[in-house]
Amino acid sequence: MGARPPPHRAERRAVPLRTRTPPPRHPRRRRRDRRHARSRRNQDLEQPVEVRAPLVPAPDLVAAVRARRRAHPARLGAPRELRARRPRADVHLDRPRRQPDPHPRGARQPAARADGPPTVTFVLLHGLGGDRRQPMSLLQPALPEGAVVFAPDVRAHGTSTLIGSAEHFTLDALAGEVAASLPHGPLTILGISMGAALALRLALRGDLDIERLVFVRPAFTDRPLPANLAAFPVMGALLRDHGARRAEKLFRETDYFAELEAASPLGAEGAIEQFKKPEAVARALRLIEIPRHAAFTREEIASVDLPATVIAAERDPVHPVSVAELWHAGLPHSVLERVPARDDGMRDYVATTRAAVSAALAR
């Protein structure tokens, strides 16, 4: 009866929490906040707001500060009166837009040596379905140290975006496009397979300063569509009609693939790679049309009055030794080199091929 009941929880005094004193605000920031708040109040009251002009330092003070910081007179950090003395080029309002370089990097004039004659440019041409990386990886290590190299991508190969129609895929048309992009000066041309045929067509033009030729595993002959290239139009037609995946499956069931695999497993694997190339379906015309053209006639190849080297690989059904012997017999100044088969070991084949190329360039 005399005891007081405990107070309700709402009547209890809360224990004050220990609070930290907020750090003092920067006086400049506080002034800016007050100014913004005043402007908001004035806008709410629809009263005009007084806007003060920003303070601008005197010109002599700015010049003195910039001079102190060692500003160069020709730069923007210099005083205005010093910048005005900088000569300026006249800008014509009717000047044309900037045009692409008519002499791209690959087609520029090679630098002259200190002793006078221009540097020899080594032109590397790839095979059918390949790109510039093929001769660069195989042949460039065999070139002299510091050699100037030009390795283009032929139409519908590699980075080339050109495709066109059947008349664009003759060997002369492709060689003409390569010739238009070649640099000026003496050239040494090395070609693999289709690149060897293009190198020969370039030599037959007669308007290029070619010093020597190196033909690595030639495949084209004096006849259109020789037996060793008969499988390529079949692959191209399958790609065009069925797409890459279905075309590869159908080609594996043909006699062409069975013969390739029996003669050279690596050769058959290289044929299957044609179905896996970038834009293989869109570029199928290259496989159909290019093998249909002969690389030379007997009279043409006999007229090539240049030192040449023909390199043949054993047991290569697409690039048989008989084709290399035909080239060697027709060229008046040629040397025939034989290298081991690729199926016997790629390391030995690559080393022997590079040694043959180095020997050909040293002759």
Q: pLDDT (tens digit, 9 = 90+) per residue, 56-94?
A: 667 776 666 666 655 444 444 444 544 445 555 554 545
Domains and CATH numbers, the chain: 117-223+295-362 (3.40.50.1820)
Read off φ and ψ for residue 125, nearest 5 degrees.
-115, 135
- At residue 43, the pLDDT reads 45
Q: Is the pTM of this model over 0.85?
A: no
As a whole number of Å, the CA-based R_g of the chain is 38
Q: Is the pLDDT of residue 207 over 60?
A: yes
Work out the mean pLDDT of the chain and round it to a whole number. 83
- pLDDT-derived band of residue 106, with 50, 70 and 90 as boundaries? very low
Distance of alpha carbon 352 from the chain centroid: 28
- pLDDT-derived band of residue 363, with 50, 70 and 90 as boundaries? confident
Which is higher by pLDDT, 49 or 165?
165
Q: What percent of the chain has pLDDT over 90?
A: 67
Which is higher by pLDDT, 37 or 134?
134
- At residue 6, the pLDDT reads 67
- At residue 40, the pLDDT reads 47
Residue type, 344: D
Give yes or no for a contact between 312 and 337, defined as CB atoms under 8 angstroms apart. Answer: yes
Residues in a beta bridge with 311: 216, 337
